[in-house]
Amino acid sequence: MTQVWRILCFCLIFIAFASADVYYLAEGAKNNGNAFAPADYLSQDIVLSQRIKWPDASFSWYGAFDAGQVAANESFYSKCLEAGVGIDIGNGWFVDLGKKKTKTGVGYFRKPTDYLKGGGTIGQNRSAASQEKVSEGLVGIDIAYMGEGVTFRGISIPRWDNDQQEQSLLSFASKFGDADYTVFLYRGDYASLGLNGNTVIGDSLELHMDSKWTQQMNRSLPSGSGSSTTTQEQNGVIDALLGCTYAFDPNTSLTIEYNYNGAGLEGSEYNEMLDYTQNYGPSLYDTYGLLSVAKHYLYERFAQTYTDCKLTLELMNANNLQDQSGFASIGLSQAYDQATVSLVARVFYGADRSEFGFAPIRSTFSAEVEMFL
Amino acid sequence: MLKKAIVLLALFSLGFSLEPNEVLKNIDGQRNIDNLIFDMDITAFNGDKKIDEYSISGFLKTVDNANKVLIYFTQPAASKGRKMLLEGNYMWVLFPRTKNAIRLSPMQVLLGEASNGDVARTSFASDYNALTCEGDTKLGKSALKLKLKAKEASKGSTYGQIVLWVDKEKLLPIYAEFYTESGKLMKLVEYSDNRTYRSATYAGKLDIHDATTPSKHTIMLYSKVGSKLMPTNYFSKEYLDRFSLE
């Protein structure tokens, strides 16, 4: 019944606001039914927004919806990504109420200061390019004051159900010379201080850093016998990313990032975790998540656009520096006025006993078509 | 402003040497529109072949002698909703359906041969000192030729030096050569299709040629120009997510 109601709402919204931005996304890929291979999708997303002027303020409502069918199990799904009201009170004050996606990090591969997480994850197996587009927002209130050169922001996400954590985030953003910086104070299932920023040197070099210090958090470690895991409390955990993007010319750039993941393992602890995974089989990714089990990671991305034919070549590599495993991908994206076609091939590499050596598959290939109507 | 230009012209005709920076201020004054809003079509060509085409809407505000510009892409459909903040070499872009604004270096131009400076520049005098001003002929027109050099405080400007030709009678730009600080010629710009909005006259069409690959050029065409007061604090990267044309 709930599903029928969702579909009905979706259709009504679509009919009522035909002027909305609509795009279709079809993605086909080898599907092994695990976290590494995206499922086959055919979906339709709608983004709506309307601003209503008021003498001293303006109100806008917004909504973004994603619906489609997962070919693997032929199930229909629909979800509301964002829906709410934004109020421009005037004098630099803004209030947003409702479901909203909020991203605050500045890293490319990882963003330690993207604090607000926890929205629904239907369709999370999509390619990296579309994953952010279909992620769900969180329901709460966002109050911002934008003064000249400074921005204060407070976000509160109440606890709506048992699966969700109450979260609050305060931030202050400003500039120091030519450098931007933002300071964060976060309270959720852990308390944390964050700092990110970036600057540009000369015509071609952009530098960025994204870091947080967490007062206390838990992590999994193999138990003494090595046949199970225990939870260990960790204090003063640092997660920091330092990166740069160098533009060789307007159409060619190289991004390199190093991530120190304080919650990760190294030395004997790391080896014990590999032994445990090799001997007892639970997925490292279920325990730690992707690119999270080790302390040191390096990422590289090279992109070149051939403007004459609107073709973009993208080479990416994510590397666990402790066991030299990782994944590399090559992507081609052809842009048209009304559509983009993307092809991505990804290879996982590393010794059998390594983070990505445990990956259940060695390669994926995905094709994605986006049409903008 | 036109009267002032005529007086300057008369003085110049009588052999009086003009203070170059005074001439430059008058050139800027001719074109100045407070709180400028505009719609612009940007088309990039390689020879005769059209390789890229964008339509943008922009809001420009001058604060402390610096131009701040908010840009919203309206065409093509694949780029619709892309937003940019330009403030000299301080540039941010927010792509449609994403939430993380990305800081760009000046090299990462997204508009064909047009740079951030080409879109945002309404004034030369704020960033450049005029070193010389002399009579010349350009594109078959009687012109004044000015040599401009970036001010010390504007060393981060897109170009270090500019040679600018303006119509001798109207003091409106007709041609410019843009150089790096080291003197390398980067771009050639032809200004045409002069139009009037209130008391200002501005070039409705800019044809920007790449100096190293002359076959590559980009045409910036103003399709609409107006004036609208926008709060200064909207010109920030934090506002990009809320920025819309409605």
pLDDT tens digits along B137-177:
998 899 999 999 988 776 556 688 999 999 988 899 999 99
Task: Return the residue matching tokens 């955990």.
Answer: A237
pLDDT tens per residue across span A102-123: 889 999 888 999 998 765 544 4
Give the model's pLDDT for residue B117: 72
- Compute the distance between CA of residue A109 and CA of residue B104 in angstroms, rounded to an integer: 17
A152 in any annotated domain = no
User: Which position has the higher pLDDT, B13 or B58?
Assistant: B58
C-alpha distances out from residue B116 to B73, B92, B191, Å:
14, 11, 17
C-alpha distances out from residue A86 to A101, A142, A145, B93, Å:
13, 9, 13, 21
B151 in any annotated domain = yes
- Cβ–Cβ under 8 Å, residues B60 and B31: no
Q: Do A146 and B78 touch (CB under 8 A)?
A: no
B187 in any annotated domain = yes
Tell me which chain B residues have a C-beta less than 8 angstroms from the C-beta of A148. Answer: 232-233
The torsion angles phi and psi of B47, rounded to 5 degrees, stand at: 65, -125
Q: Which domain holds residue A250?
A: 201-373
Q: Considering its fold, how many domains does chain A have in total?
A: 1
B246 in any annotated domain = no
Q: State the count of interchain CB pairs (< 8 A) between A and B.
A: 111
- SS percent in chain A: helix, strand, coil, step 5: 10, 55, 35
- Compute the distance between CA of residue B241 and CA of residue A60 in angstroms, rounded to an integer: 13
- Cβ–Cβ under 8 Å, residues B115 and B108: no
Peptide bond between residue B76 and the one before it cis (omega within 30 degrees of 0): yes
C-alpha distances out from residue A60 to A49, A63, A84, A297, Å:
7, 10, 8, 41
Q: Which domain holds residue B127?
A: 2-239
A116 in any annotated domain = no
Give the model's pLDDT for residue A30: 44
B144 in any annotated domain = yes
- The mean per-residue pLDDT over the stretch B126-136 comes to 89
Mutate to test the interface with A, among B74, B228, B236, B237 (most CBs of A within 10 A): B236
- Which residue among B78, B96, B239 sits closest to A336, beta carbon to beta carbon? B78
CB atoms within 10 A of CB A28: 16
Give the model's pLDDT for residue B8: 55
The torsion angles phi and psi of A98, rounded to 5 degrees, stand at: 130, -160
- Which residue among A51, A205, A208 sits closest to B244, beta carbon to beta carbon? A51
- Compute the distance between CA of residue A194 and CA of residue A240 in angstroms, rounded to an integer: 9
CA geometry: angle A130, A131, A137, nearest 5 deg: 120
- Compute the distance between CA of residue A159 and CA of residue A205 in angstroms, rounded to an integer: 42
B232 in any annotated domain = yes
Q: Do B242 and A88 touch (CB under 8 A)?
A: yes
ipTM field: 0.83
- Which residue among A50, A151, A310 sits closest to B246, beta carbon to beta carbon? A50
- The mean per-residue pLDDT over the stretch A317-338 comes to 93
pLDDT tens per residue across span B6-52: 555 555 554 555 688 888 988 888 888 889 999 999 999 988 888 88
Q: How far is B178 from chain A (nearest CA, A)?
A: 16
Q: At residue B8, what is the residue type?
A: L
Q: Do B106 and A151 touch (CB under 8 A)?
A: no
A138 in any annotated domain = no
A259 in any annotated domain = yes
Q: In the predicted model, is pLDDT for residue A277 greater than 70?
A: yes
Residue whose C-alpha is closest to residue B83's, from B92, B98, B72, B96? B72
Q: Do B80 and A21 touch (CB under 8 A)?
A: yes
- The mean per-residue pLDDT over the stretch A345-352 comes to 90
Q: In the predicted model, is pLDDT for residue A307 greater than 60?
A: yes
pLDDT tens per residue across span A42-86: 666 676 666 676 666 677 777 777 777 666 566 777 778 888 888
Mutate to test the interface with A, among B91, B108, B158 (most CBs of A within 10 A): B108
Q: In the predicted model, is pLDDT for residue B120 greater than 60?
A: yes
Q: What is the largest CA-CA distance in chain B?
A: 61
Q: What is the CATH number of the domain that holds B96?
A: 2.50.20.10
B245 in any annotated domain = no
Q: In the predicted model, is pLDDT for residue A324 greater than 90?
A: yes
Q: Considering its fold, how many domains does chain B have in total?
A: 1
